[in-house]
Amino acid sequence: MTDTTEHTNRAKEWFETLRTKICNEFEAIERETGSDAAFTFTPWEREEEGNSDPGGGVQGLMKGKVFEKVGVNVSTVRGSFAPEFAASINGASAENPGFTATGISLVAHMANPHVPAVHMNTRFLTTGKSWFGGGADLNPPIPYDEDTADFHAAFRAACAAHNPTYYDKFKKWADDYFYIPHRQCHRGVGGIFYDHMECPDGDGSGAAFDRNFAFTKDVGETFLGIYPKLVRRRMDSDFTDADKLQQLQWRGRYAEFNLVYDRGTLFGLKTGGNIDAILMSLPPEAVWS
């Protein structure tokens, strides 16, 4: 069997590299407006009784002129799920609750309501099985067809380079997942979402891991290629009080989804993650009216 520790370490190194690339690009956008805003990075360590190596992560946070609040977090954690939670996780069970998880998670809430908010994450988990998951979705308070089309076109091309079925499948998955039932609306204009992209590698070759890891890396690079373009396109747009109110109302919808339905939030809370890092996805300001 392939050593999944090696796979976890390779994924971890990539997520940290992607974090650096994204943070550098976002800081460069701030410099273009004369802002000296920069990310602060706060390490944290996970605790689990009886676990000598539970792991941890680094929370990256920036509040600037363009990015009102953006978090870019990386973590690598190891331990055991609570028995009742293990039953809900791919490859885990009450009898085999052990897990390792590494990933990057990003949420950006923007100062200008014409600039779309965004979410992106990719991750690699090992339980009784090992798999990749993740995606990216655009959350504009004031949608622009051009921005939506460009965002989807970028991910359509990324998917097509790996499998002709991926885009349609993962777009639908995002549409279904990022839906707020009690509001009967979607959180944004979608993107792609995938999970349980398994790496069985029963023959020890590592081929499935390499294939799925390559796709996951392209998801991150595609995000880095398209989202800054959308930010630069809209960040100098004039906006009204009505535009700002619309942004704050949609931020309320975003908060509702993340607190009520988001599986990543639940995973973090159930596995003893850093509370500030888990809830960095929440907007700095929102209204309900």
Question: Model confidence over 139-157: pLDDT tens digits?
Answer: 999 999 999 999 999 999 9
To 10 degrees, the CA torsion angle through 244, 250, 252, 258?
A: -140
Of 53, 50, 26, the residue nearest 40 (C-alpha): 26
Which residues, 6+ apart, have CB-to-CB distance to 50 below 8 Å?
A: none
> Average pLDDT, stretch 251-263?
95
Q: Domain spans of the chain?
A: 4-281
Q: Can 196 be counted among the known catalytic residues? A: no
Q: Residue 103 and residue 76: Cα distance in Å, rounded?
A: 7
pLDDT at 78 over 70: yes
pLDDT at 2 over 60: no
| pLDDT at residue 205, rounded to an integer | 65
pLDDT at 54 over 90: yes
The confidence band for 63, taking pLDDT boundaries of 50, 70 and 90, is very high
**Which homologous superfamily is 4-281 in?**
Coproporphyrinogen III oxidase, aerobic (3.40.1500.10)
Choose the catalytic residue: 7, 109, 114, 119. 119
